[in-house]
């Protein structure tokens, strides 16, 4: 028995599938400038893990807008709390929440920010 080589049929609109949405850097910058920091950061987390991160890791954990990027979160934290951010990691949950782990630079102290927020 001879097996024929199987191939997939090409889509009828192949020409349109090759096109990607490209946003110019100027347009992307203008979009991020219009975003309000209060719409990006929803609220800080005050769990045992987040308190431990504040005390020992010099980082804060926020629940953020699901469409926010790392850059958006970094700008929002720097604007709202007047601190310098070293690094931002994000985690998407299955419940639809997005957590941002914000590591502050050496000159900024997370416990001072958390005291202003009323976490500690």
Asked whether the beta carbons of 102 and 61 are under 8 A apart, the reply is yes
Residue 1 within a domain: no
Mean pLDDT of 105-117: 93
More confident residue, 84 or 10: 84
The pTM assigned to this predicted structure is 0.71
Evaluate the CA torsion angle 113, 118, 119, 120 in order and state its sign. positive
In a domain, 98, yes or no: yes
Q: What is the 3-state secondary structure (H, E, C) of the chain?
A: CCCCCCCCCCCCCHHHHCCCCCCCHHHHHHHHHCCCHHHHEEEECCCHHHHHHHHHHCEEEEEECCCCCHHHHHHHHHHHHCCCEEEEEEEECCCCCEEEEEEECCCCCHHHHHHHHCCC
pLDDT of residue 19: 46
Instruction: Please indicate, yes or no, if residue 84 is contained in any of the structural domains.
Output: yes
- The CATH number of whichever domain residue 81 belongs to comes to 3.30.70.330
Q: Tens digits of per-residue pLDDT, 55-85?
A: 999 999 999 999 999 999 999 999 999 999 9
Q: Report the pLDDT value the prediction gives residue 41, as an integer from 0 to 100.
A: 96
Domain count of the fold of the chain: 1
Query: Given this model, what pLDDT does residue 12 score?
Result: 65
Asked, for residue 74, whether it belongs to a domain, the answer is: yes
Q: What is the mean pLDDT of residues 88-114?
A: 95
CA atoms of 42 and 67, how far apart (whole Å): 12
> Domain range holding 48?
38-117
Q: Supply φ then ψ for residue 71, to 5 degrees.
A: -65, -40
**Is the residue at 49 inside a domain?**
yes
The pLDDT tens digits of the residues spanning 16-34 come to 554 445 555 555 554 555 6
């Amino acid at each position: 028995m001879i097996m024929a080589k199987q191939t997939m049929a090409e889509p009828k609109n192949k020409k349109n599938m090759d096109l990607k949405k490209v946003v110019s850097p100027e347009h992307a910058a203008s979009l991020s400038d219009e975003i309000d920091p209060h719409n990006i950061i929803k609220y800080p987390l005050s769990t045992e893990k987040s308190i431990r991160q504040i005390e020992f890791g010099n980082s804060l954990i926020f629940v953020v807008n699901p469409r926010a990027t790392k850059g958006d979160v970094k700008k929002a934290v720097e604007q709202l709390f007047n601190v310098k951010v070293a690094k931002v990691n994000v985690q998407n949950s299955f419940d639809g929440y997005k957590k941002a782990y914000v590591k502050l630079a050496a000159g900024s102290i997370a416990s001072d920010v958390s005291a202003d927020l009323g976490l500690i």
